[in-house]
């Protein structure tokens, strides 16, 4: 069966969680999964969970959070290193699922060139499932995806002053 291209985008919570759920399901079906987390470099509880599942490999290609300031050259270098590794992983074709978590944030902040991501998508091996996540998914990528899900924030408890909680948000 051929692999498809899935996009999880929007300003609502749950994009990474949806991708991780797909990874968990794929691992349960005997598939091998590679997750590249762009922009993220801090500890998230999913890192501990995923390490317990041998079929899932996860790597972070981000440094400190720069969302409220301009990215540095180090941020760009980290993202470029990750994208280079993703190209190698795709070319090797040893994983049945490849997840590019927060790739759209990396594109938005110009850490990775959108055209390079489109080129990568077009080189996807036929049997590989490719999942791309993050806010600000470019229209050009949504147009070539097989599935696009937009998470829409209706209400969020952050607005009530509730901070990120270990095991829930991180």
By the 8 A CB rule, do 156 and 13 touch? yes
Residues shown for the chain: 170
Q: pTM here?
A: 0.92
| Crossing angle (nearest 10°) for helices 114-122 and 73-92 | 10
| Position 162 in a domain | no
CATH number at residue 47: 3.40.50.300
Number of domains in the chain: 1
* Residue 147 counted as domain residue: no
Question: What are phi and psi for residue 10, nearest 5 degrees?
Answer: 110, 170
Q: Is 154 a domain residue?
A: no
Residue-by-residue pLDDT tens, the chain, 170 positions: 699 999 999 999 999 999 999 999 999 999 999 999 999 878 888 889 999 999 999 999 998 665 667 888 999 999 999 999 999 999 999 999 999 999 999 999 999 999 999 999 999 999 999 999 999 999 999 999 999 999 998 898 878 888 888 887 78
Residue 73 Cα to chain centre, angstroms? 21
């Amino acid at each position: 069966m051929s692999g498809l291209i899935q996009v999880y985008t929007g300003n609502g919570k749950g994009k990474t969680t949806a991708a991780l759920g797909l990874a968990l399901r794929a691992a349960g079906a005997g598939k091998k999964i590679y997750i590249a987390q762009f922009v993220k470099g801090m500890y998230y509880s999913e890192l501990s969970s995923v390490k317990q599942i041998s079929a899932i490999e996860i790597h972070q290609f981000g440094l400190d959070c720069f969302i409220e300031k301009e990215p540095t050259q180090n941020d760009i270098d980290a993202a470029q290193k990750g994208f280079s590794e993703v190209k190698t992983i795709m070319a090797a074709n040893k994983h049945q699922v490849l997840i590019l978590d927060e790739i759209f944030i990396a594109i938005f902040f110009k850490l990775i060139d959108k055209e390079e991501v489109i080129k990568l998508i077009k080189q996807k091996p036929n049997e590989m499932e490719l999942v791309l996540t993050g806010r600000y998914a470019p229209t050009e990528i949504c147009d070539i995806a097989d599935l696009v899900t937009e998470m829409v924030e209706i209400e969020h408890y952050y607005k009530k002053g509730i901070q990120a909680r270990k095991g829930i948000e991180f």
